[in-house]
């Protein structure tokens, strides 16, 4: 079967379409929520509160949620999770004044918390739906639906929010979650994680923290996983710095406005789609570690050109072309990383390790946001962004040298077989 032919495989196609519709709805809401809060309050601080409310659960509960995912049937977790995500949007219909904005924060925190179970469950179950040789292609195709949703969701969310208000966006998002739940429920593949046996009810909570600790110990004892966590930390700090300074870069360095900002974001999405279309047919000939390392190096190198080109030639058309180019390696990072995680982590540990990875990503992204805001003033926006670009190149070098060596070591193969 060709890589694109995976979309004809029933169970994987159901999972893929469920992800597409639910992510589209999530993008709609991600656009509408801050717009609605700002319209009600006129406060940038109040608007950022929704983002903080959505981020906090990842920092506090991400790793622990993964331990539950390793106990529960992954398919059931996704079905129930999507149903809860739909139900959790109902209170948004009540938010009609500034004094009720706290409801938005509560909904954002609830949705983020439930997503901590749905996301790891999906990624943990994916290897059961495809052959090992098709795992990289499957993750790349999942990234494809993320980017398709990113193109359509924000536009639809902004339109509905403008024409009909937040309630209409919430209703549309509820429909996407319900549809996603139905699609996942139709999957026939086994969803229960492999385990050493059933857990007695009286031991369920008592053993939770022990299981979580075992998941962290599993990461600590595997060189490959330590390297992957390191590169995720480097990548996440860079993403945080970019998130804090991108608007400033567009405004102060490129002398652009909101339209320029949106154009560059769309240009990156176009590049991502190009990268996926080009790479997916070749996945059976690619090693995930080499793809990850080369993608990091290209990502960092193009970023450095993006940040420094305006000092030589200030042309917005050039920046658009560069953002299309950088979208290609960026879109390959997540699928290559997830393939390595799914391959290196046994099924019984997969949920909690992926949960820990999400927590690590969130923690270092917040660190990058803080560092970017604090250091841009004393050192300049371009200088700090250059550090971000260099960090991606370092991450790529670490992958190409340390990770490739660890994957090839006899000790690693023995550890994997005994896990």
131 and 39 in a common domain? yes
262 and 156 in a common domain? no
171 and 67 in a common domain? yes
Q: What is the pLDDT of residue 309?
A: 95
224 and 155 in a common domain? no
Does residue 207 sit within a domain? no
Q: What is the pLDDT of residue 372?
A: 84
Q: What is the pLDDT of residue 46?
A: 75
184 and 227 in a common domain? no
Q: Which residues of the chain have pLDDT under 50?
A: 1, 196-205, 413-419
Does residue 357 sit within a domain? yes
Q: What is the pLDDT of residue 410?
A: 52
| Residue numbers of the domain that contains 74 | 4-188
Listed residues 147, 171, 188: the one ending a domain: 188
Q: What is the pLDDT of residue 413?
A: 47
259 and 182 in a common domain? no
13 and 132 in a common domain? yes
Does residue 195 sit within a domain? no
Listed residues 172, 188, 204: the one ending a domain: 188
Listed residues 188, 223, 254: the one ending a domain: 188
Opening angle at CA 246, ends 266 and 300, nearest 5: 85
What's the structural domain count of the chain?
2
The answer to whether the beta carbons of residues 392 and 234 sit under 8 Å apart is yes
Residue pLDDT, tens place only, 207-216: 555 655 666 6
Q: What is the pLDDT of residue 2?
A: 55
152 and 231 in a common domain? no
162 and 67 in a common domain? yes
Q: pTM for the full model?
A: 0.74
Does residue 96 sit within a domain? yes
Q: What is the pLDDT of residue 303?
A: 95
39 and 145 in a common domain? yes
Q: What is the pLDDT of residue 209?
A: 56
156 and 219 in a common domain? no
Q: Which CATH number belongs to the domain containing residue 299 in this structure?
A: 1.20.1250.20
Does residue 166 sit within a domain? yes
259 and 339 in a common domain? yes
Does residue 183 sit within a domain? yes
Does residue 116 sit within a domain? yes
Does residue 208 sit within a domain? no
């Amino acid at each position: 079967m060709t890589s694109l032919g995976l979309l004809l495989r029933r169970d994987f196609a159901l999972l893929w379409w469920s992800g597409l519709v639910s992510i589209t709805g999530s993008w709609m809401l991600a656009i509408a929520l801050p717009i609605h809060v700002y319209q009600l309050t006129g406060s940038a601080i109040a608007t950022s509160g929704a983002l903080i409310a959505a981020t906090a659960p990842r920092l506090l509960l991400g790793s622990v949620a993964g331990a539950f995912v390793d106990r529960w049937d992954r398919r059931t977790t996704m079905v129930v999770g999507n149903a809860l995500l739909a139900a959790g949007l109902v209170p948004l219909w009540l938010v009609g004044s500034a004094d009720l904005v706290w409801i938005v924060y509560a909904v954002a925190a609830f949705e983020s918390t439930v997503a901590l179970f749905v996301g790891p469950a999906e990624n943990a179950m994916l290897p059961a739906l495809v052959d090992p040789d098709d795992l990289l292609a499957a993750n790349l195709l999942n990234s494809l639906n993320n980017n398709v949703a990113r193109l359509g969701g924000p536009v639809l969310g902004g339109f509905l929010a403008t024409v009909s208000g937040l309630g209409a966006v919430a209703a549309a998002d509820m429909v996407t979650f319900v549809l996603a739940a139905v699609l996942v429920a139709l999957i026939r593949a086994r969803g229960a994680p492999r385990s050493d046996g059933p857990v007695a009810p009286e031991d369920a909570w008592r053993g939770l923290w022990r299981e979580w600790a075992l998941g962290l110990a599993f990461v600590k004892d595997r060189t490959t996983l330590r390297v992957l966590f390191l590169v995720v930390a480097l990548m996440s700090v860079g993403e945080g710095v970019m998130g804090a300074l991108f608007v400033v870069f567009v405004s102060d360095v490129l002398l652009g406005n909101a339209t320029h900002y949106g154009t560059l974001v769309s240009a990156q999405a176009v590049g991502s789609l190009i990268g996926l279309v080009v790479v997916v047919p070749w996945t059976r000939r690619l090693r995930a570690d080499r793809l990850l390392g080369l993608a990091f190096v290209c990502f960092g190198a193009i970023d450095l050109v993006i940040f420094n080109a305006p000092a030589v030639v200030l042309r917005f058309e050039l920046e658009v072309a560069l953002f299309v180019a950088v979208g290609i390696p960026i879109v390959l990072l997540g699928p290559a990383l997830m393939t390595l995680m799914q391959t290196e982590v046994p099924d019984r540990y997969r949920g909690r390790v992926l949960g820990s990875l999400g927590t690590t990503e969130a923690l270092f992204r917040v660190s990058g946001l803080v560092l970017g805001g604090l250091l841009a003033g004393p050192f300049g926006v371009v200088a700090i962004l250059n550090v971000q670009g260099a960090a991606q190149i370092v991450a790529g070098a670490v992958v190409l040298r340390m990770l490739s060596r660890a994957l090839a070591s006899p000790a690693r193969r023995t550890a994997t077989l005994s896990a």
